[in-house]
Amino acid sequence: MGERRVVISVDMEGVCGVSSWVQVSPPEFGGLVNAAEYERARRQMTLEAAAAAQGALDAGATDVLVNDSHDTMRNLLPELLPPGVRFTTGNDKPLSMVQGVQEAGVVGLLFVGYHARAGSVRGPLAHTWNGFIRDVRINGASTGEYGLNALLAGHYGVPVLFASGDDVAMTEIRAELGEEVVTVVVKEGLSAFAAVHLHPHTALERIQEGAWRAVEQAAQARPHTTRWPAQAQLSFNHQARADAAERVPGVTRVDAVTVGWESDNAYHLFQTFRMLAKVAEVRLDG
């Protein structure tokens, strides 16, 4: 049968019980006031990753790698993961949120705790990468972290099999990546900072069952791609950020807050996006 390796990319904004930035901000960035809420959220994040990992193992995965994909990428409580599961931490990974998809024998990528893209209506904590990116468009279509990550995984021939998170994000993922992606909704968005949640135990049960189904049918999945060369655009919340990004070679100015570039493949597109997001971290007080 050979190796059937699976990578799980786990974020925090989309996990059950989360609806505030306070809950997903590590204490070193928010002070001790949010420590208790963050600890609860990171525990649920880990348990949801563990549920997906167990589902994948039950479906015959020979190796599961859990990639911490939130903020500092030092959030997982590894002792809560199933025995034998590997995990990745640290925020300077070459492939960031999908580190591991480049390894041999990987049959699928699972998204856990994912959220809607920037600008989404009713998407709890909806954003793309950071708080100052307004929109990302690839060949004219807006996308979110899920789309960028799916394209990068597709570059290595790895399809997205599963996703869990809020209802807005799951609708976006099915529309962009295909109805064949198994999705599990753990909360329904009411606004940017409110949601109706499943009981945490129910969320874990549904994630485990969904991951099992997704890995069971992995052989039918196809990697996500787009038209190449691709035309990409990145819009910010302030023209000063576009001023800085425009100075990167190969990048052109589209309008006051938007820059664009062309990529021949998903690796170039993703790394250019990542670099521009970093370059645009400028002070806005002059």
Same domain, 214 and 235: no
What is residue 120's predicted lDDT score, i.e. its pLDDT?
98
**Radius of gyration, CA atoms only, the chain:** 18
Same domain, 57 and 81: yes
Same domain, 185 and 251: no
CATH number at residue 186: 3.40.50.10780
Domain assignment present for residue 252? The answer is: yes
Domain span at residue 203 reads 5-116+156-220
Q: Cis omega before residue 229 (within 30°)?
A: yes
Q: Distance (Å, rounded) from C-alpha 95 to C-alpha 34? A: 29
Tell the residue number behind the tokens 């591991």, with chain if given.
100
CB 125 within 8 Å of CB 193: yes
What is residue 286's predicted lDDT score, i.e. its pLDDT?
77
Same domain, 183 and 237: no
* Tens of each residue's pLDDT in the chain, 286 residues: 578 999 999 999 999 999 999 999 988 765 556 788 999 999 999 999 999 999 999 999 999 999 999 999 999 999 999 999 999 999 999 999 999 999 999 999 999 999 999 999 999 999 999 999 999 999 999 999 999 999 999 999 999 999 999 999 999 999 999 999 999 999 999 999 999 999 999 999 999 999 999 999 999 999 999 999 999 999 999 999 999 999 999 999 999 999 999 999 999 999 999 999 999 999 998 7
What is residue 1's predicted lDDT score, i.e. its pLDDT?
56
What is residue 28's predicted lDDT score, i.e. its pLDDT?
74
Token pair for 154: 């597709």
Domain end (from 197, 220, 243)? 220
- pTM score: 0.97
The residues that bridge with 114 in the sheet, in sequence order, are: 165
> Per residue, what are the HEC states of 67-93?
EECCCCCCCCCHHHCCCCCEEECCCCC
Number of domains in the chain: 2
Instruction: Report pLDDT digits (tens) over 15-67.
Output: 999 999 999 998 876 555 678 899 999 999 999 999 999 999 999 999 999 99
Same domain, 169 and 68: yes
Tell the residue number behind the tokens 């580190």, with chain if given.
99
Query: What dihedral do alpha carbons 222, 167, 211, 159 form, nearest 10°?
Result: 20
Token pair for 137: 């468009």
Q: Distance (Å, rounded) from C-alpha 37 to C-alpha 51? A: 21
